[in-house]
């Protein structure tokens, strides 16, 4: 599939990597729906895309809400006259140690709350499940063939990163689902792929203290952060390479956690 033929949904499309994907796709001639809970951010990205080759629509959606996802998928198909790409990018953090002890007493004084566990699982794992299920339903029922692509944005943290029990579990689960869905959906012409970014220069890293960021970068063999454009190059490859499915591309500068 050529990028210019894509009718794509990008969840979490109002900011960060998602916004870069939306604008990159539109710059390359695709038709795109940016889905996000941030209505103001959606208005901004739609306005920014006005002069690009492609067309961008905005739709508010909570990816952890089933009714919201169904409405977003069906509405996006109406907006674009079909669907053939979805990028499951929406994600959140609620970091914390599983248990934290008091230095003086050695007793547990805190732990990761069930609410923080569940919220990350709901958005980062249930969200892609709901979006992919409804995307596949729409593509199959409407005979939008011959080909569709599902891309999940995982993370280097899928290997297990201290303080990220919830996030690591969700991002590892997304990789497992990417492989599983490739087997289940291939008969319908739907390919799958995932990208696991390392430290990418987004507003999250922009807000870090310089000394903390420098400490993180020390562990990266390439000795720098990645750019959102470099992650987008992985998105383009998955969309355009018709013999790619069920795999994860690590774009992390060689970093190993």
Please count the residues of the chain: 257
232 is annotated as an active-site residue: no
Q: Give the pairing of strands 85-88 and 148-153.
A: parallel
Q: What is the C-alpha to C-alpha distance for residues 135 and 115, in angstroms, rounded to an integer?
A: 28
Q: What is the C-alpha to C-alpha distance for residues 107 and 142, in angstroms, rounded to an integer?
A: 58
Structural contact between residues 139 and 84, judged by C-beta atoms closer than 8 angstroms:
yes
Residue 155 in tokens: 């993370």
Which position among 167, 188, 232, 243 bears the catalytic label?
A: 167
Residue 107 in tokens: 């007793």
Angle, vertex CA 166, rays to CA 208 and CA 177, nearest 5: 115
Q: What is the C-alpha to C-alpha distance for residues 8 and 63, in angstroms, rounded to an integer?
A: 16
Residue by residue, DSSP assigns 194-233 as: EEEE-SB-SHHHHTS-HHHHHHHHTTSTTSS-B-HHHHHH
Residue 130 in tokens: 């709901």
Q: Which residues are catalytic?
A: 167
């Amino acid at each position: 599939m050529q990028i210019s033929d894509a009718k794509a949904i990008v969840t979490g499309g109002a900011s960060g990597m998602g916004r870069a994907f939306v604008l990159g796709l539109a710059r390359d001639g695709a038709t795109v729906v940016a889905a996000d809970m941030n209505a103001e951010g959606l208005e901004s990205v739609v306005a920014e895309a006005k002069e690009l080759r492609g067309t961008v629509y905005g739709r508010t959606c909570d990816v952890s809400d089933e009714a919201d996802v169904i409405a977003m998928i069906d509405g996006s198909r109406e907006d674009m006259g079909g669907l053939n790409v979805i990028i499951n990018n929406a994600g959140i953090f609620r970091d914390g140690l599983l248990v934290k002890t008091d230095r003086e007493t050695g007793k547990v004084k805190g732990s990761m709350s069930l609410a923080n566990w569940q919220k990350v699982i709901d958005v980062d794992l249930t969200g892609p499940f709901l979006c992919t299920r409804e995307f596949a339903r729409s593509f199959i029922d409407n005979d939008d063939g011959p080909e569709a692509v599902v891309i999940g944005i995982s993370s280097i943290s899928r290997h297990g990163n201290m303080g990220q029990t919830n996030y690591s579990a969700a991002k590892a689960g997304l990789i497992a689902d990417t492989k599983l869905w490739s087997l289940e959906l291939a008969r319908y012409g739907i390919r799958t792929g995932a990208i696991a970014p390392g430290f990418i220069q987004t507003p999250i890293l922009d807000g870090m203290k310089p000394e903390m960021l420098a400490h993180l970068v020390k562990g990266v063999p390439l000795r720098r952060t990645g750019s959102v454009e470099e992650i987008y190059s992985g998105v383009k490859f998955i969309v355009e390479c018709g013999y790619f499915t069920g795999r994860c591309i690590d774009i992390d500068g060689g970093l190993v956690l």
